[in-house]
Amino acid sequence: MSIDAALFSGSRCYFFKGNQYVRLSRGDTGPGTVDPGYPAHISNWGWPAGFGANGIDAALYSGSRCYFFKGNQYVRVSRGDTGPGTVDPGYPAHISNWGWPAGFGANGIDAALYSGSRCYFFKGNQYVRISRGDTGPGTVDPGYPAHISNWGWPAGFGANGIDAALYSGSRCYFFKGNQYVRISRGDTGPGTVDPGYPAHISNWGWPAGFGSS
C-alpha cells in the first residue's frame, strides 16, 4: 500500500493514488471517516487536459488556494474546504516558477507540506523551506536545500525520501510506502515523532483496493 499525495482542506482531507482519490472528514488527529462516494476518479477535479490524468506527485494546501504538482508542471486552484474549485488562469505552469535552488525539483517533487507561513517541499533525500503567503512562490529560506535526516524520523523511515505529507493543525503526517509517522510540531522545525510511530497505513481505513501498490 502507498499513496501519491495528500491534501489538507480544513475539516476534510484528500488522499490521491493513481487516478483515484478519497475524501475524509476528520479533525486534527486520527483517520476520520471516508465520505460516501469515495474512492472517486481524479477527473472530478477538472484540471486542464493532459495534467494529472493518471495521478499527481504532490498537493499543497495554501488557504484559499491549492497547488497540485505533476512532473515539471503545476496548477493553482481557487477553492473552499470541499469540491474541486476552479483552476486559475495561466495554469498549468512550469515548476521553475517556484525559484528553488538549482538542481532541486527541476523535474518534479515527491511531497509538499503547508505549515502556516512556511511551506516545505521534498525531493528524494532533500527538502527546502519557503517563507510565503497564500499565493506565489515566496522565498527559499537560507540554508536550503537541506538533508531529510534533519526531520529525525525513526531509523529506516523516509531516509531516501517520502511519498506524501499532510498538514493537520498541530500535527503533521508523513507517508512512505505502507508506513506513516505522526509529528507534533509548530510552524517550523521538525517537531517530535509521536509515540507508536511508524505505523501501518492500513490504520487510515481507506476502502479496499485504494492505496494498493
Residue 210 resides in a domain = no
Residue 105 lies in a domain: yes
Residue 146, in any domain of the structure: yes
CATH code of residue 43: 2.110.10.10
Q: Could you count the other beta carbons within 10 Å of the beta carbon of residue 175? A: 27
Is residue 180 within 8 A of residue 165, CB to CB? The reply is: no
pLDDT at 92 over 90: yes
CB of 99 closer than 8 Å to CB of 132:
no
The Cα–Cα gap between 7 and 150 comes to 23
Structural domain includes residue 22: yes
In a domain, 112, yes or no: yes
Whether residue 209 is contained in a domain is answered as: no
Q: Give the H/E segment covering residue 177.
A: none
* Domain count within the chain: 1
Which amino acid is residue 63, in one-letter code? G
pLDDT tens string 131-167: 987 777 899 999 999 999 999 999 999 999 999 999 9
- Asked whether residue 160 is domain-assigned, the answer is yes
Q: What is the pLDDT of residues 67-83, one digit of tens each?
A: 999 999 999 999 877 77
Domain extent, residue 173, equals 5-204
- How do residues 102-122 score in pLDDT, each as one tens digit? 989 999 999 999 988 889 999
Are the C-beta atoms of residues 2 and 211 closer than 8 Å to each other? yes
